[in-house]
Amino acid sequence: MSTYETLRVDRDGAVAVLTIDRPEKRNALSGQVRAELVAALDALRDDESVRVLVITGAGDKAFVAGADIAEFADRTPLEQRAAMTGRRVFDEVAAYPKPVIAMINGFCLGGGCELALACDVRIAADTAKLGQPEINLGIIPGGGGTQRLPRVVGTGQAMRLVLSGEIIDAAEALRIGLVDVVHPAAGLRERTMDFARGMAAKSPVALRMAKSAVRAAAEMPLAAGLQYETELFITCFTSDDKREGVAAFLEKRPAQFRGR
């Protein structure tokens, strides 16, 4: 496994945990962090022994408290445009073929919230704080917040958070659907890893197809989405995993999926 300066990559069976490791900066998303996250995603993409990814932040204060503001404070518009071209970590996470879980262990603000929105499942500590406070800096979300947030919580709640810059607690985030599960902070890692390991025990083929189908629901008209679902369902019938899953069910034994 490659060595990174701002990122730790650990393995727990078929689960890889990517920990953004800048606790002194509340794990702010610097250009280096983003580049190393993309590099780690690339390194794990074709590793068949990794079936699920978990992204979190070092320490117990922050998942990601936002962008590294000092890094872009003096940029010109052209310099900022150049910094936002190429492969963007938010889009790379959203399009990743394997499931990605955000383990939100603290402040999840601005770019941090956008990173969590790009993940497939968001599991938060009860002490977490979330929001899109960019409006307080005279800017708007630029990592997908204006687009992914409405798709997750609805237009009204997205407008509320983006236009006010309000920071909400985990209970409110759960109520509006910004996070999917909330656990006591002390048990967050254990509960999240239990969930991730359970997901990793499923068929990698089916996980990939299911993620693609659900993601498509936010972008396709219903008729097109249903047709896409049908094609992916049929594609599952070409896999050894489908044959193993059905056989295991009929034989009343645990399935041993191989990702083929």
Catalytic positions: 114, 134
**Residue 105, number of CB atoms within 10 A of its CB:** 25
15 touches 50 (CB < 8 A): yes
**Maximum CA pair distance of the chain?**
65
Q: What is the 3-state secondary structure (H, E, C) of 204-228?
A: HHHHHHHHHHHHHCCCCCHHHHHHH
Please provide the distance, in angstroms rounded to a whole number, between the alpha carbons at the two ends of the chain: 24
Q: Do 114 and 134 touch, CB atoms closer than 8 A?
A: no
Query: For residue 96, what are the contacts with CB-CB under 8 A and spacing of at least 6?
Result: 41, 45, 53
